[in-house]
Amino acid sequence: MLVKYPEATNAYREAIRIKPDYAEARTNLGSLLIALNEYNPAVTELQEAIRLKPDNPVSHNNIGYAYAKIAESSSPAAAADYYRKAIASYKEAIRLKPDYAKALNNLGSVYNKLGSYPEAIESLKRATTLKPDFPEAQYNLGTAYYNRNQFAEAVTALQEAVRLKPDFADAYNSLGSALYQSQQLDRAIEAYKKVLSLKPNADTNNNLGKVYYRAKRNKEAVASFKAAIALRPNFAEAHFNLAVAYVALGDKRGVLEEYKILKTIDPVLAEKFAATFLKGN
């Protein structure tokens, strides 16, 4: 699909050259530039689109998205300014179109990034009420609830996200974490396994190992921590957790091997392990 985007951008640029006050073409060009990850040029086009036609909610939503993406790769001080601009843009889009679920979701996502979870929940609940079949909004809502330690509500939202989008690996991962916090260990294991079937990665293997360890399924915990390390050999937390699982199994050789590795990659974590598990040894 991306191969068509340069052709489309050229067509919109030509339309703008012929008619510089063509606001819709500038909005469409800005949107295509966002799809091409060209966020600063997108802002330039969308600012001009808004100057020409200030009552287009799509332009305000899309420039908000571009600001938020620029913030992600900016210094903390610059990011704060870009997020502020994103929030203002999303709010204007919503003022112009109160039932604009996409803008409400985007606003909630920025509030999540800023740690403003009550505001995120308010915005995302509106988005999911207006558009119940919106998996990304359900995911963002679940994230906000999780960060407020409202784990039951997080589970509900994240279950809806994966029901709507069965291949939503990030939502399954967050669901596993929420289920773990809710002490629903068997269900957490199944959620993490689903993530690994969709997107194998070290962090999820490590998280799955922690659930197995909590469930006293220590051999399975060891296998999961080893899988995490196979994907990321210097994953200090996984080495630490593997050493702890070996302690639970009474595998002294495994404990000492992992402790030796840990000392080379994270001496602070190695010292913590020694202070907790190697006293008197």
Structural domains in the chain plus CATH codes:
1-98 (1.25.40.10), 100-199 (1.25.40.10), 201-281 (1.25.40.10)
> What's the sign of the alpha-carbon dihedral 162, 166, 171, 174?
positive
pLDDT in tens, 67-113: 999 999 999 999 999 999 999 999 999 999 999 999 999 999 999 99
Q: What is the mean pLDDT of the chain?
A: 96
pLDDT band at 1 (very low <50, low <70, confident <90, very high): very low
Q: Within 13 A of 264's CA, how many CA atoms are on the CB side?
A: 7
The one-letter code for the residue type at 270 is A
Let me know the angle formed at the C-alpha of 52 by 12 and 126, rounded to the nearest 5 degrees: 90
The helix (H) or strand (E) run that includes residue 201 is none
pLDDT of 280 reads 55
Radius of gyration of the chain (CA): 24
Q: Exposure of 276 by Cβ count < 10 A (0-12 exposed, 13-18 middle, 19+ buried)?
A: exposed
Q: What is the pTM of this model?
A: 0.91
| Residue 165: pLDDT over 70 | yes
DSSP three-state, residue 54: coil
Euclidean distance between CA atoms 66 and 77, whole angstroms: 17
**216-251 confidence digits (pLDDT tens):** 999 999 999 999 999 999 999 999 999 999 999 999
Question: What DSSP designation does 134 have?
Answer: -
Six token digits for residue 246? 């070996």
- C-alpha separations of 267 from 57, 192, 231, 262 in Å: 53, 29, 21, 7
pLDDT digits (tens, 9 = 90+) for 41-77: 999 999 999 999 999 999 999 999 999 999 999 999 9
* Strands (DSSP E) found in 31-126: none
pLDDT of residue 76: 94
Q: CA 107, CA 125: separation in Å to the nearest integer? A: 12
